[in-house]
Amino acid sequence: MINKEVSNAREAIRDIPNNATLMLGGFGLCGIPENCISALVEKGTTGLTCISNNAGVDDFGIGLMLKTRQVKKMISSYVGENAEFERQLLSGELEVDLIPQGTLAERVRAGGAGIPAFFTPAGYGTEVSEGKEVREFHGKMYLMEEWLKADFALVKAWKGDKSGNLVFKGTARNFNPMMAQAGKITIAEVEELVEIGELDPNEIHTPGIYVQRIFQGVDYEKRIEQRTTRIK
């Protein structure tokens, strides 16, 4: 087996250049690559295009990179939790592409799966369809959407082995598996890095072929956006 372990986030992101296109896994703050984001903030890489379902909150997740003005463009489906994002958007400092969530997920999946384009009904007849090829199949109208790929995909998993096999937990899976497939270089950070052979092959969610670098993450905060509990 191939050993893909690197020592930490700093080493994993060492060659991400300015103006790179990144994919970052996560839904809200759930399943985001916390360590890689911190390392990018520390390194100060700028001009980034970030493909991610959301844009974090003001002081966590991608919000940290927005604050330091490292992001040139966001490609997302929902960005409503972030005041700094709003400020940069309204002042024209930040470009934003808003995409229906299922279309975003499928465009990323298509990128990793070698499917250059596909047809989806989402957004037909709305402003999302502007400038896109429309076709009718079996009496229903569909939009053509193209694949998305990235120079680097930054994903977060629960467990991983040193050959890059990944296992996710709960709803922290979300966009991570497709992004792992769609990155030219995919960097996986995991809460628990184990030796090759310690994960049950039956339970791997993302096979290691998609992962180029993996490291044991540290100091996970795993912040919760809406802590909602049962009233006793």
Partner 1 sequence: MLDKIGIAKRIAQEVQDGTYINLGIGIPTLVANFIPENINVVLQSENGLLGIGPFPDEEAVDADLINAGKQTVTTLKGSSLFSSAESFEMIRGGHVDLTILGAMEVSENGDIANWKIPGKMVKGMGGAMDLVASADNIIVAMQHKSRSGDSKLLKTCTLPITGIKCVKKIVTDMAVLDVLPQGGFKLLERAPGVTVEEIKNATEGELIIEGDIPEMNI
Chain residues in the site for partner 1 (CB under 8 A): 27-31, 53, 76-81, 86, 89-90, 98, 100-106, 108-109, 120-128, 158, 168-178, 222-230, 232
DSSP calls for 114-136: T--EEEE-TTTTSGGGTTS-EEE
Question: Which H helix or E strand runs over 163?
Answer: none
Query: Judging by beta carbons within 10 Å of its beta carbon (0-12, 13-18, 19+), is residue 232 exposed, middle or buried?
Result: exposed
Nearer to partner 1, 31 or 217 (CB): 31
Tell me how far, at minimum, the Cβ of 148 lies from partner 1, in Å: 12
95 forms beta bridges with: 73
Nearer to partner 1, 4 or 109 (CB): 109
Tell me how far, at minimum, the Cβ of 152 lies from partner 1, in Å: 19
Residue pair 141/121 in contact (Cβ under 8 Å)? The answer is yes
Q: Residue 51's closest CA among 191, 144, 178, 202?
A: 178
Question: How far apart are the C-alpha atoms of 2 and 183, rounded to whole Å?
Answer: 19
Nearer to partner 1, 22 or 143 (CB): 143
Tell me how far, at minimum, the Cβ of 208 lies from partner 1, in Å: 17
Nearer to partner 1, 46 or 101 (CB): 101
Half-sphere exposure for 149 (CA within 13 Å, toward CB): 10
Tell me how far, at minimum, the Cβ of 140 lies from partner 1, in Å: 9
Question: How far apart are the C-alpha atoms of 12 and 34, rounded to whole Å?
Answer: 13
Nearer to partner 1, 45 or 175 (CB): 175
Tell me how far, at minimum, the Cβ of 134 lies from partner 1, in Å: 12
Tell me how far, at minimum, the Cβ of 50 lies from partner 1, in Å: 14
Residue pair 113/93 in contact (Cβ under 8 Å)? The answer is no
State how far Cα 44 lies from the chain centre.
Answer: 19
Nearer to partner 1, 29 or 188 (CB): 29
Residue pair 34/221 in contact (Cβ under 8 Å)? The answer is yes
